Structure 1
Amino acid sequence: MAPLQNARVLFNAIPADYPIPGETTVYDTSQTMDVENVSLNGGILIKVLLLSVDPYLRGRLRAAEIESYMPAFTLGQPLHSHGIGVVLRSEFPGVEAGTHVFGILLHQEYMIVASLESASAPGVAIANLEVIERNPRLDWSVYLGAAGMPGQTAFMGWWEYSEAKKVAFISTGAGSVGALVIQIAKQDGLKVIASAGTEEKVKFMKELGADVAFNYKSTDVRTVLAKEGPIDIFWDNVGGDTLDAAMEFANNHARFIECGQISGYNHGFQPMKNPGLIFGKCLHIHGFLLGYLRHKHLTAFSTEVMPKLISGELKYREDITRGLDKVGDVILAVQKGENTGKAIVRVADE
């Protein structure tokens, strides 16, 4: 067999605000790989099937010298994110061709890793991969969404910090994380207020069980919270003025679960308008990253969430785009809130 194209998506330029497809990231088809004969050096050859596109990727499209909780992508090198691939060839004991793996994968069609414990490529560090088996009632894509990092973020963050009371306000309630938080909060017996940016998403949040769902672009958040609050829990995915409003209409001792602040990813973060409310209302503000909770709550996620996903009790939506060349477009769509459900790029079929 002749060498196959091994297209890649490269980090090409640091964006000033929104990432620009074809400029911030570029689709490169200059490389090939002889998948039948390329040396594996004891490792495995993976065909990339699915890639997750999440809001946090925007934070990695920055200059390397700017510190953050995750390293910057390397200019001139492929992006990488959570993904699912299938092993085409293996020299690693116990891993056979046809095995599926989950973890951080390069945004390219084929990749070689030294083993499932560690892998590397020029200029990037690739996190551990793990063998994954699919429940026949779930598509592989679900393991990048409701059964994967977003679902685990929702469940584990809620379990760790919510101490459920009466009223919860969930921003980005139609997203891959927020949608599951709505359902978990309802299962805990809370009144749920949820916001999103389109009428279609408002309808979806109501289908998930939200008691009050509104479009923040056409309805003032303070008007809603004044009528439906005060709130005991705020699940924050957006920050900015929505966070300020939540603080204004929070009960004493309310709990703020800081999962993300997408309003600041492209145009900079705005300071809190009234930080004195933190001590004035004795607010509990918890920022978290999934990596610090996963070891603690993974078993509970497997027993509490997975059966409900398999049975259909817990609902989710996916927004799947076909083609590695569309990664840049999907990154931009996620930043602008144009996706409906978990954003995934299908690189290839098996």
Structure 2
Amino acid sequence: MAPVTNTKVIFKAIPKDWPVIGEHIVYDTSSSIDPEEHPLDGGILIKTLLLSPDPSVRGRMRDPSVKSYAPAFTLGEPIESRGVSVVLRSETEHFKEGDYVVGMIPWASYNVFPSHAKLIAINNENRLPWSYYIGLLGMPGQTAYYGLNKIVNIKEGEKLFVSAASGAVGSVVVQLAKLRGAQVIASAGSDEKIAFLKEIGVDRAVNYKTEDLDQALKEFGELDAYWDGVGGPTLDIALANMKDFGVVAICGLISSYNDGENQYGVKNISAILTKRLRVQGFIVGDLVEAEGGTHAFQEEVGPLVVEGKIKFKEHYTKGIENAGEALLGVLKGDNFGKSVIIVADK
């Protein structure tokens, strides 16, 4: 087989605020690969099918001297995120040709991984969409499940506020909380997203762009818990409406990821003391590790997905050449549901 272009999306420069396509994120077609002859050295060759432009990608576009829970991207190398690929060739017993695998995938059309790669072969016996394994059944769904169980510990009758509630994580939080008998008020930024929130059963849906969020929360009643995916002024408003000894679970701060040195300063921080709140940021990987894996998630959420009891929106971008635009869309909130980059069919 003749060599084919191995298209890549390269991390070219560190942005101070909003990433710019062509400056910080570069589409590169200078590499080629022969899928039949490229040496594997005991590893596997995979073809990228789907990529997940998660908000956390922005956090890794930084100077490596700035420490965080995930390492900074290497300048001149492909961006990476969770993705689904198919194994084209294998020289290891751990994977076979035709396996669909999920894991951290460099943004390239083809990748070679060593035999000990941290990839998981997908057992899709229920013929679910492959995209679910980077969404509803992947990191976003697991974040909702473990955060709700281990951080919030929501109970029947309690009042929960969920921001970014139409998104990949928030929409699952809403539905799992409703299944546990919670009262849920949720916010989103368009009438279309508000309609979806009503469809999945929220008790009060608030368009924060056209309604007074603070007034809506006051009318709903003091909150037992707040699920924060945005930070900024929304966090301030939530803190002012919390019940004494309430819980604030922070899984994202997307409103400030591109603010550079102009980070929003929380003004109601005194409420943490006066209301004796428990505010906890978390990364789902820590919770999964503490649990010894995702078995509980698979046993509880898996059947709900198969039975269609959890509704899930996806937002598709076709072509790896549009991956940068897909990431910017997520950071701006232009996507409706889980953003998925479709790189190739099988």
Task: Tell me the TM-score range normalised by the shorter chain.
Answer: over 0.9
2:147 alignment partner in structure 1: 157
Task: Decide whether the 8 Å contact of 1:22 with 1:328 is kept in 2.
Answer: no
- 1:299 Cα shift? 1.4
1:74 alignment partner in structure 2: 74
The superposition leaves residues 244-295 of structure 1 with CA deviations (integer Å, 9 ceiling, x where unpaired) of 1111010001110111111110114322212221121010111111111114
2:123 alignment partner in structure 1: 133
- 1:89 Cα shift? 0.6
Matched residue SS, 2:294: helix
Matched residue SS, 1:47: strand
Establish whether residue 298 from structure 1 lines up as the match of residue 288 from structure 2.
no
Matched residue SS, 1:217: coil
2:191 alignment partner in structure 1: 199
The superposition leaves residues 80-123 of structure 1 with CA deviations (integer Å, 9 ceiling, x where unpaired) of 100111110111024211011110011001111111x23xxxxx
In 2, Cα distance between equivalents of 1:248 and 1:225: 9
2:273 alignment partner in structure 1: 279
In 2, Cα distance between equivalents of 1:18 and 1:209: 35
Unpaired segments ≥5 residues, structure 1: 119-127
2:316 alignment partner in structure 1: 320
Within-5 A mapping of 1:17-96: 17-96=17-96
- 1:2 Cα shift? 0.7
Aligned partner letter, 2:204 = V
Aligned partner letter, 2:82 = H
In 2, Cα distance between equivalents of 1:343 and 1:74: 24
1:218 alignment partner in structure 2: 210
1:258 alignment partner in structure 2: 250
1:185 alignment partner in structure 2: 177
The superposition leaves residues 189-217 of structure 1 with CA deviations (integer Å, 9 ceiling, x where unpaired) of 11100001111111111111111111111
1:332 alignment partner in structure 2: 328
The superposition leaves residues 160-183 of structure 1 with CA deviations (integer Å, 9 ceiling, x where unpaired) of 022324100000000000000000
- 1:136 Cα shift? 3.4
In 2, Cα distance between equivalents of 1:193 and 1:94: 46
In 1, Cα distance between equivalents of 2:23 and 2:212: 36
Establish whether residue 142 from structure 1 lines up as the match of residue 136 from structure 2.
no
Task: Decide whether the 8 Å contact of 1:19 with 1:331 is kept in 2.
Answer: no
Aligned partner letter, 2:227 = W
Aligned partner letter, 1:234 = Y
In 1, Cα distance between equivalents of 2:94 and 2:217: 55
Aligned partner letter, 2:345 = D
In 1, Cα distance between equivalents of 2:95 and 2:235: 47
Task: Decide whether the 8 Å contact of 1:230 with 1:251 is kept in 2.
Answer: yes
Aligned partner letter, 1:346 = I
User: Residue 222 of structure 2 is aligned with which of 210, 226, 230?
Assistant: 230
Aligned partner letter, 1:313 = K
Task: Decide whether the 8 Å contact of 1:48 with 1:108 is kept in 2.
Answer: yes
Aligned positions, number:
340
Unpaired segments ≥5 residues, structure 2: none
In 1, Cα distance between equivalents of 2:94 and 2:259: 48
Aligned partner letter, 1:102 = V
In 2, Cα distance between equivalents of 1:293 and 1:64: 25
In 1, Cα distance between equivalents of 2:38 and 2:189: 48
- Structure-1-length-normalised TM-score: 0.95
Establish whether residue 114 from structure 1 lines up as the match of residue 114 from structure 2.
yes
In 2, Cα distance between equivalents of 1:94 and 1:301: 24
